[in-house]
Each structure stands twice: as C-alpha cells, then as structure tokens.
Amino acid sequence: MLEMRNVSKRYRTSTVETRALAELNLSVEEGEFVAIVGPSGSGKTTFLNVAGLLESFDGGSYDLDGEDVSQLNDKQRSQVRNQKIGFIFQNFNLIPDLNIFDNVDIPLRYQRVPSWKRSELVESALDTVGLKGRMKHLPGQLSGGQQQRVAIARALVGSPRLLLADEPTGNLDSNTANGVFDLLLELHNAGSTILMVTHEESMASHASRSVQIRDGILRAN
C-alpha cells in the first residue's frame, strides 16, 4: 500500500538547515492502522505531509498504491491527493465560510462527480459521522468534536485508499477525543488504511502497530 525507502527531507532557510526526515523506511499494508508517536518537532507532521504529497522530499523512493509518486508533476500529485488520500488535521481545517455540506463536498468537486451523486455521497459520509442533520450549518456553529467529525467525513467522502490523521484529537477534550478516536477505529475495522500521528499512549496502543520518530528518524516500537 505504502512503501518508503530512505526518504529524507531538509528545510533550508537563509540561516539554518534542518534535517526533518532522515533515511526513513516504512512500509504499510492495506488495512493497517499505524500510529506514529514522537516528541514535538521530531518530524511527524513533515512525514505525514510527505506521505500525503503535500510536500516534496529530497532523496529516496516512495511508492503509493503500487505507483512511484516521486516524479509526478503538480497536477498528477493533486490528483493522487484527491483520489487516494484523505487528510484529517489537528485544527480541523474546515473552510469557515462554506457550510458543512459544501466543506465535505470539496473532494468530490475535484473528482468531477456529477451533482446528484455528490449530494448522495456527502449525505452518507455525514451520516457515518452522525452529523447528517447539520449540513446547512457553518463550521463555527459546531463544537470542536463535531467539526473534527465533519473533517473526517470530508476525508472519507471520496473513498480514498489511505487516511492521514495528524493529531486528530489534539485540540479536543478527552471525552470528545475518545469519541473521535472510536470513529477512526470503526473506520479501521471497516477496512480503511490509517496513518495517525498522536501523543496519546492509550490511542497508540489500540493501533495495529506504532512507530516512533525522533529527530527525523523512524523506529519501530
């Protein structure tokens, strides 16, 4: 499903060069739920961004779903993101002036799904996260937990092969966090492949396996 070999990434600013990822090797099978843990600044988000083709990397090889994605141009990368990857962010990243329906609709728009089918898919995705009744609300009118559920619906709606979640419960109180995490577990049980960055030991322990990042270096736990 996902195969990274010796992937490395550096950030260069005018004053410093940061090694964000070093010789990273990781292979994820279809249907796995992999937790990524590590201290702040260790390169977790960078790793997830590289895995999700939001950022490029400097060296190494990366196959996603059997396809070498290191040489794709911007349009092709956008297409892969759109069709194969669902993102869940720590701060939800909903677009504040689009209502819930329109937020979840975004990936389908780029997939050029016809309108009648879009509303069907959006409604069923919102149904999955239990928010079908809030389609006309704006994100600001929902609680944090509800917003993250909307974000999960948006990540799911295009039926991606891989879900990438960056501290999805980091901004939520523990009760709500557990609810959101349970939702991810349900998705995993239903067959989704998930890569999740987390601080919570308890959550990492529920995953199929967990890996650690320290100074950009990945280690199995």
Residue number with CB closer to ligand ADP (157 or 164): 164
Tell whether residue 221 is a contact of other proteins (CB under 8 A). Answer: no
Taking CB under 8 A as the criterion, the residue among 147, 148, 149, 154 binding other proteins is 154
* Site mask for Mg ion (CB under 5 A), range 39-68, x = bound: ------x-----------------------
* Site mask for other proteins (CB under 8 A), range 64-93, x = bound: ----------xx--xx-xxx---x-x-x-x
* Site mask for other proteins (CB under 8 A), range 160-199, x = bound: ----------------------------------------
What single string gives the DSSP state of each residue in the chain? Answer: -EEEEEEEEEEE-SS-EEEEEEEEEEEE-TT-EEEEE--TTSSHHHHHHHHTTSS--SEEEEEETTEE-TT--HHHHHHHHHHHEEEE-TT----TTS-HHHHHHHHHHHTT--HHHHHHHHHHHHHHTT-GGGTTS-GGGS-HHHHHHHHHHHHHTT--SEEEEESTTTTS-HHHHHHHHHHHHHHHHTT-EEEEE-S-HHHHHHSSEEEEEETTEEEE-
How far apart are CB 132 and other proteins at their closest, in Å? 21
Chain positions contacting other proteins, by CB under 8 A: 45-46, 49-50, 52, 54-56, 74-75, 78-79, 81-83, 87, 89, 91, 93-95, 97-98, 106-107, 109-112, 154, 158
